Every structure is written in C-alpha cells, then in structure tokens.
Amino acid sequence: MPVIAPARRAGSGEVSVRPVMMGRMTQVYLEAGAKKVFACAVDWPGWCRAAKGEEAALAALRAYAPRYRVIAERAGLAFDPGAPEVVERVPGNATTDFGAPAVPAAADRVPVDPAVAERELALLRAAWEVFDEVAAATPAELRKGPRGGGRDRDRMIAHVVESERGYARQVGVRHRPFAFDDREARDALRADLLRALAPPWDGAPPTPRGWPHRYAVRRLAWHVIDHLWEMEDRRT
C-alpha cells in the first residue's frame, strides 16, 4: 500500500530536497484537478501517471515502474523504487484535467545540487533515445482507439517534436518551425535545450514567467515517455 505522509501544499513554506531513497520510499507529489489526479515521482522525471482519484493514480504509477526502469537503466541509473510516499499536493487546472501535468511542485522551485541536475538531464536524454528506438521499430499505422481516434506514428513524432519547440520557449530557447523528420533541426533544438537546462539550478525560472529548470526537465521527459508508451501500446 502507498504511504501517504503529511504533505505541504505549494507555497506553504520552505521545502528541502532529500536524497533519493532507493528501495525504501519513493517521494511522490500529487497534482489534483477536478477530474484527474497525476502522481509524479519527485526524483524520477517522466515517471508520472494519471487516473481518477489519488489511490488510482498512485496504483498507476507503481504499475508503470517496470516500464520506467528501461529509461532509468538507459541513463545508467539503478532503479529500485520503494512504496510511494506522498510529500506534496498541488492544485491542478484545466490542463491537468485535459491529461497533462501542468503545475510545478515545491521541489522544482528550490536549489538543486549540480549532480542531481546532471542525473535528471541524463534521464531526459535517455527518454529521447528510447523514443527514437521505439519509433524506428513501430509501423507507420497504429491501432486506433475504441472510438477510432489516436495519432499514427509520424503524427505522434511530429507532435512530440513540435511540443518540445513550444516548451523550449519556457526556458528561453526559440527555434523556427521545422519538419518532424528534420533530424538536424531537431537535434539543434535539443542541444540548445540542454545548454539552457545545464546546472546550476537555483529554483528560479531562467526566463520571466517561465518554467524552473527542474520542472522543465520533468515536463519534457513526461511528454516523451508518455507518447513512447502510447506508441508501444498501440502497435500491438
């Protein structure tokens, strides 16, 4: 059973970032909208799942641990998560209910050690690598949803890349639109993103009204991994 510890809401006071507790407890924050709740692992960017209600979201997070292990191991990290421990709750918004996490946690707004920052950037790079491998092994036409919806492979790749171009503006990186299969342009965008996200991370957004570095990595990784898993599920 998940452990739900007393949790502070965003803005309620100073929050310290504790080391990852491998094999013991996994720190999780919950982002709750009116219809959906996201459970997100604080120290594992991209490991974040949604459901209707807190318990269901936590159960979904744990169910996807074996699939996230692929990302962690590609990044060269041991992955032995323990039971989730809820350390924070943040109010969601319309984007949350639409199906995407949208609110930084308190841990995203405090200084982070450079070693932690580099570790989380390694997880983002791993997500990109695994996504490319899955896309290369996926047929162009994917199985449709129960109502006939869902993007096929190339539209999904284009959506991921174009979303990254939009997300990049949140950290001060701007690129002109480009074709989804223009690897040179995509790689240039990602290289600029990594430069903008390089430590130190002091908890402040790199641009006015932008995203804190740690949250930017979390949101980028989640989007890539979410569609990676969708692609895997819909090609079978």
Helices (H), 50-196: 54-63, 65-74, 94-98, 114-136, 153-168, 183-196
In sequence order, the β-bridge partners of residue 145 are none
Tokens 């006939």 sit on residue: 148
Task: Fill in the DSSP letter of residue 38.
Answer: E
- Average pLDDT score over residue span 210-216: 97
Distance CA(124)–CA(35), nearest Å, equals 28
| Domains detected in the chain | 3-108 (no CATH), 111-234 (1.20.120)
**Contacts (Cβ under 8 Å, ≥6 apart) of 67:** 229
Q: Which of 5, 94, 87, 76 is nearest to 40 (CA)?
A: 87
What sign has the CA pseudo-torsion 158, 173, 212, 190?
positive
Q: What is the pLDDT of residues 8-37, one digit of tens each?
A: 334 433 333 333 334 478 999 999 999 999
pLDDT at 142 over 70: yes
pLDDT at 1 over 90: no
The mean predicted confidence, pLDDT, of the chain is: 90
Q: What is the pLDDT of residues 28-79, one digit of tens each?
A: 999 999 999 999 999 999 999 999 999 999 999 999 999 999 999 999 999 9
Name which residue leads in pLDDT, 218 or 25.
218
